[in-house]
Amino acid sequence: MNNSRCLYPGSFDPVTLGHLDIIRRAAAIFDTVVVGVLHNPEKKGCFSVEQRVDMLQRVCRDMPNVQVISYGGLLAQLTKETGISVVVRGVRGVADLESETAMARINHQLNPALETLFLPASPEMGEISASMVRQLAAFGADLSAYVPQEALPVILAAFQPQ
Ligand code: PNS
């Protein structure tokens, strides 16, 4: 029986509508999508790993074939440990394509069983990035066009003036 799985890795610091677009489209192609919050234990993100996983779980609640995990190591190692041989990445334009191609090649060298598939970002998502969301949040801007509504409470709480 066919049971296709893919891994959608990222920092998700925080999750954006662009990420959600890719998750939904991957979930329509694969039987199971594992969303991996990849983090470097030596680098602190804006949101804790627990917060990032929590936001993604809220956002993916209506997609039964999507699971969320976290991992503090190399992506290639995670694919070896899970046995997932397809990684999905979204590309917004040529700059993304260039850096993503380099990353895909290195990951393939580290795990020759691993292939990376690129999904072009939907046009309306082409300008959204987590770093832009963090900047807007720091200045109290309206984030509703950039992040899923389920993630908003976590983001707003993190940027609440003390
Ligand atoms: O959301 P991002 O920041 O574009 O995601 C990048 C991410 C987390 C997928 C990438 O940095 C990654 O795979 N990090 C894990 C460490 C690793 O495997 N690095 C080698 C890839 S060349």
pLDDT tens digits along 97-139:
999 999 999 999 999 999 999 999 999 999 999 999 999 999 9
Ligand 1 atom 12 nearest Cα: 75
- Read off the pLDDT band of 59 (50, 70, 90): very high
Residues 6+ apart with CB under 8 A from 157: none
Question: What pLDDT is recorded for position 5?
Answer: 98
Domain ranges in the chain are: 5-158
Ligand 1 atom 3 nearest Cα: 11
Quick check: 19 and 151 in contact, CB under 8 A?
A: no
Q: Ligand 1: distance of its center to the CA of 144 in Å?
A: 26
- Read off the pLDDT band of 36 (50, 70, 90): very high
pLDDT at 96 over 90: yes
CATH architecture of 5-158: 3-Layer(aba) Sandwich (3.40)
